[in-house]
Structure formats: structure tokens, C-alpha cells
């Protein structure tokens, strides 16, 4: 019995020692893995901060890039509109050039429409391109076959026509000192004038949103009209700070106005009777045109190239980037991850701006580290880190 007693105690001791050893191994492995994971994560974060501009520490500065990827055409390239796989470009007295941009890195010309007049403005919707020219015409062009565009209708306007805006079945066309002409384009081949109203200044550009028309009226400023009743169009409001309104775009409660050499303004239009300026960006050169996309506005700033302004806080716009290669940026259009710039004599230029279109969320690391299965098959995952870019 004495011998048996000692044998049992020895087995218990061995069992306890084995258990202690196993637990020690488990905890050692756990803390060693935790330390390794944290070290790996720290190194990953450093690498990500150096090589991936989307991932950054709170104290770092965004490292975004504008990359020029292609250019095409020569001449007087001053307007551009992108629709689908094509860019439609106004080339002065050479009409409209149609460019295949299905591969933005290798654009090529596929068609041209030339009526002998200088193109002032252009817009594309569906199978039709709409243009204004120096012959005081508003033209509708069938582009269903981009290799052979064909005019289907033109309407003469009074005075100087620069810009226009299309909403639904109507085109609102500027007529300089003669105000705005309204054209029914529901059937393009038989489009006809259905209305007209005067403005206080000289209409240069127009934007229509809901039941209101917003007119960039030169030295008079920004004018607002209630067009809900075509037979009784009402002047609602005016904003004038002494500048000269050249272009306008409306989104939500704000009107974005380019004032040429006087910069760029953001105007609160929630009260149509009393629009008020909430911010102004002073440009270094003349702003010919602009494009609003997401939280950015892209300014075509003549011989200063183009600038990107963050307007996520409408009351405090911030310049975030600039590109200038010596041309004269007269128009800009943003589509997907690319900016298309009408750069005067330097032609149509295409830029990759994907850094400014990127998803604000990024998963920086996912490092699952399985521990020993001695703890009932439990796996502990360490190193999942999801962050929002600031």
C-alpha cells in the first residue's frame, strides 16, 4: 500500500507539472504573438503611410496626386463635354471634334461636325449634341453615329448667345441683353420657341434647378427667376457684390458663381428673395469655367491651369491642389476618375484624379494569429484595424 500511495502522488505531480508547462506555453505564445502582431502592424502602418496615400496617421498630410495621362488635338480647344465613351470638344471655327475615350490613356478622334461657325457652348444628352455659335444659332445635332454627326434642327436667337441649360424637354438659351429664350426640344427635329423673358443685366450663362432659373448676368450679378408658370415668369432675387458673374451652377441650397478675374463665390440661395454670399475664393487668374463633382470644384483658371477646391464646408472652401503645364485652361469636365481639360492651343488634356475620387474608408490590416489549440480549439484574432481617412 505504501508503494501504491507513492505511485499515485508521483502521477499527480507529473500531471500538475504538465498542466503548468502547457499553460505557460500558451501564455508565452499569446504574449509573444501579441507583441509580434503589434510590431507587424506598426511596420505596416509606416509602409502604408509611405506608399499608400489613402492610409495616414491623424497628424500626417494627404499626399494626393494629379497625373496627366494623355493629350490630343491642336487648335482653339475651349469647351469639352463627356458622355459615355466620348468627349465632345469645341475647336473654335473647326466645329465639334468627337473623341473616343474608352481608353483615356489612348484617346483618338472618330468624328467631326463643322458648320463654319465658332462654337460658344455645347451639351450632350442621349443621341443629341446641343450647341450655340457665333451665327446666333442654337443647333441640335444627331450623334447616334459619332463618326457622322448630322444637324437636325437649328433655331435663330436674338442678340449674343453664349450659354444654355437643358432640363427635361426644354432648353434655356441666353440671348445677351435680350434675356432668355425657352425652346421645346421634346422632339428635336421640330424644336421650337415657346417662351422668352428679359433679365436686368446681360445674360451670359444660365442654370435651371426645380422651378427657378439662375442667370449669370455680368456686371448685374446673379439673378433668380421663378419659372414655374411659363406665362408669368417672376424676378425673385439678385446678388451683386460689384463683381461680374460669368458662369453659374446650382446644387442644393447653394449657387456656385465664377466671376472671371474676381474669383469664385458660393451663394446661399435658400431664400430666393435674398441670396447671400457665404464664401469667396480669390483666384490668381481669370476663371473661364468650372465643374462641381462631389465635395470638390474644379476651376479652369486660364494660364494658371486648373485648381481643385474642397467645398465640403461651403463656408470655408480650401484649395487642395493645382496643375499647370503652361497651357490655357478654358473648360474642365470631370467624369469617373478623370478630368478633361480644354487647354486652348495645347488641345484636350486628360488627367487621372482618382486620388480625389477615392473611398474615404480603408482597411489597413487584417492579421489573424491562431494560438495553440490546447485551450479547446479557441482562435484569437489580433490586428484587425479599420480606419477612416481624415
DSSP one-letter code for 57: -
- Specify the pLDDT at position 21: 58
User: Is 368 within a domain?
Assistant: yes
- Specify the pLDDT at position 111: 97
Q: Which of 149-163, 189-203, 366-380 has the lowest mean pLDDT?
A: 366-380
Q: What is the mean pLDDT of the chain?
A: 81
- Specify the pLDDT at position 326: 87
Dist. CA 310–CA 64, nearest whole Å: 13
Q: Among 53, 58, 101, which Cα is nearest to 80's?
A: 101
User: Is 30 within a domain?
Assistant: yes
- Please give the average per-residue pLDDT across 189-215, as a whole number: 96
User: Is 203 within a domain?
Assistant: no
- Please give the average per-residue pLDDT across 372-388, as a whole number: 34
What does the buried/exposed string (b/e) look like for 9-48 if buried means 16 or more CB atoms within 10 Å of the residue's CB? eeeeeeeeeeeeeeeeebeeebeebeeebeeebeebbeeb
Q: Among 252, 268, 269, 248, which Cα is nearest to 260's?
A: 248
- Please give the average per-residue pLDDT across 60-79, as a whole number: 83
- Specify the pLDDT at position 8: 43
- Specify the pLDDT at position 138: 95
Provide the residue range defining the domain that includes 16. 2-54+361-388
- Please give the average per-residue pLDDT across 63-80, as a whole number: 91
- What are the grid coordinates assigned to 177, written together? 441683353
- Please give the average per-residue pLDDT across 235-239, as a whole number: 97
* Residues 98 and 86: beta-carbon distance below 8 Å: yes
User: Is 74 within a domain?
Assistant: no
- Please give the average per-residue pLDDT across 294-321, as a whole number: 94
β pairing state of 108-113 and 192-197:
unpaired
pLDDT band at 17 (very low <50, low <70, confident <90, very high): low
User: Is 62 within a domain?
Assistant: no
Q: Which of 63-67, 227-231, 263-267, 273-277 has the lowest mean pLDDT?
A: 63-67
- Please give the average per-residue pLDDT across 86-97, as a whole number: 96
Beta strands across the sheet bearing 338-342: 67-72, 348-352, 338-342, 331-335
pLDDT band at 48 (very low <50, low <70, confident <90, very high): very low
Name the pTM for this structure: 0.76
User: Is 20 within a domain?
Assistant: yes
pLDDT band at 55 (very low <50, low <70, confident <90, very high): very low
Dist. CA 270–CA 254, nearest whole Å: 7
Dist. CA 52–CA 318, nearest whole Å: 23
Flag whether pLDDT at 255 surpasses 90.
yes
Flag whether pLDDT at 56 surpasses 80.
no
Structural domains in the chain (count):
1
pLDDT over 70 for what percent of the chain? 75
- Specify the pLDDT at position 155: 95
- Specify the pLDDT at position 13: 57
- Please give the average per-residue pLDDT across 173-195, as a whole number: 95
Flag whether pLDDT at 219 surpasses 50.
yes
Flag whether pLDDT at 302 surpasses 60.
yes
DSSP one-letter code for 273: T
User: Is 222 within a domain?
Assistant: no
DSSP one-letter code for 274: S
- Specify the pLDDT at position 16: 61
Higher-confidence position of 336 and 38 = 336
User: Is 379 within a domain?
Assistant: yes
- Specify the pLDDT at position 9: 56
- Specify the pLDDT at position 115: 87
* Residues 293 and 300: beta-carbon distance below 8 Å: no
Flag whether pLDDT at 278 surpasses 70.
yes
CA geometry: angle 232, 124, 100, nearest 5 deg: 175
DSSP 283-338: -SS-B-EEEEETTEEEEE-BTT-EEEEE-SSTTS-EEEEEE--SS-B-EEEEETTE
pLDDT band at 74 (very low <50, low <70, confident <90, very high): confident
Neighbour tally for 282: CB within 10 Å: 9
pLDDT band at 387 (very low <50, low <70, confident <90, very high): very low
Higher-confidence position of 309 and 325 = 309
Flag whether pLDDT at 37 surpasses 90.
no
- Please give the average per-residue pLDDT across 65-79, as a whole number: 92
Amino acid at each position: 500500500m505504501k508503494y501504491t500511495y507513492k505511485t499515485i502522488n508521483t502521477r499527480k505531480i507529473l500531471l500538475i507539472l504538465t498542466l503548468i508547462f502547457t499553460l505557460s506555453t500558451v501564455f508565452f505564445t499569446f504574449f509573444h504573438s501579441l507583441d509580434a502582431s503589434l510590431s507587424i502592424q506598426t511596420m505596416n502602418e509606416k509602409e502604408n503611410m509611405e506608399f499608400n496615400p489613402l492610409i495616414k496617421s491623424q497628424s500626417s498630410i494627404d499626399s494626393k496626386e494629379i497625373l496627366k495621362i494623355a493629350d490630343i488635338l491642336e487648335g482653339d480647344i475651349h469647351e469639352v463635354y463627356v458622355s459615355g465613351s466620348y468627349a465632345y470638344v469645341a475647336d473654335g471655327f473647326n466645329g465639334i471634334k468627337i473623341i473616343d475615350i474608352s481608353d483615356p490613356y489612348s484617346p483618338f478622334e472618330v468624328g467631326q461636325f463643322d458648320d463654319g461657325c465658332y462654337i460658344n457652348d455645347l451639351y450632350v444628352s442621349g443621341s443629341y449634341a446641343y450647341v450655340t455659335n457665333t451665327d446666333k444659332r442654337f443647333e441640335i445635332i444627331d450623334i447616334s453615329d459619332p463618326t457622322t454627326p448630322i444637324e437636325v434642327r437649328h433655331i435663330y436667337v436674338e442678340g449674343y448667345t453664349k450659354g444654355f441649360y437643358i432640363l427635361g424637354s426644354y432648353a434655356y438659351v441666353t440671348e445677351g441683353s435680350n434675356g432668355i429664350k425657352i425652346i421645346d426640344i421634346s422632339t428635336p427635329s421640330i424644336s421650337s420657341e415657346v417662351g422668352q423673358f428679359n433679365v436686368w443685366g446681360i445674360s451670359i450663362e444660365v442654370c435651371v434647378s426645380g422651378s427657378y432659373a439662375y442667370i449669370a448676368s455680368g456686371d448685374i450679378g446673379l439673378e433668380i427667376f421663378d419659372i414655374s408658370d411659363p406665362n408669368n415668369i417672376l424676378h425673385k432675387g439678385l446678388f451683386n457684390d460689384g463683381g461680374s458673374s460669368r458662369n453659374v451652377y446650382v446644387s442644393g441650397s447653394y449657387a456656385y458663381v465664377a466671376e472671371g478675374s474676381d474669383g469664385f463665390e458660393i451663394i446661399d440661395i435658400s431664400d430666393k428673395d435674398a441670396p447671400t454670399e457665404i464664401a469667396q475664393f480669390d483666384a490668381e487668374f481669370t476663371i473661364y469655367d468650372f465643374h462641381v463633382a462631389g465635395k470638390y470644384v474644379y476651376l479652369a483658371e486660364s494660364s494658371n491651369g486648373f485648381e481643385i477646391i474642397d467645398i465640403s464646408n461651403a463656408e470655408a472652401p480650401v484649395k487642395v491642389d493645382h496643375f499647370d503645364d503652361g497651357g490655357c485652361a478654358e473648360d474642365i469636365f470631370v467624369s469617373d476618375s478623370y478630368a478633361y481639360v480644354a487647354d486652348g492651343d495645347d488641345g484636350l488634356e486628360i488627367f487621372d484624379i482618382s486620388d480625389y475620387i477615392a473611398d474615404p474608408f480603408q482597411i489597413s490590416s487584417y492579421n489573424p494569429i491562431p494560438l495553440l489549440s490546447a485551450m479547446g480549439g479557441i482562435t484569437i484574432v489580433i490586428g484587425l484595424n479599420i480606419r477612416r481617412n481624415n
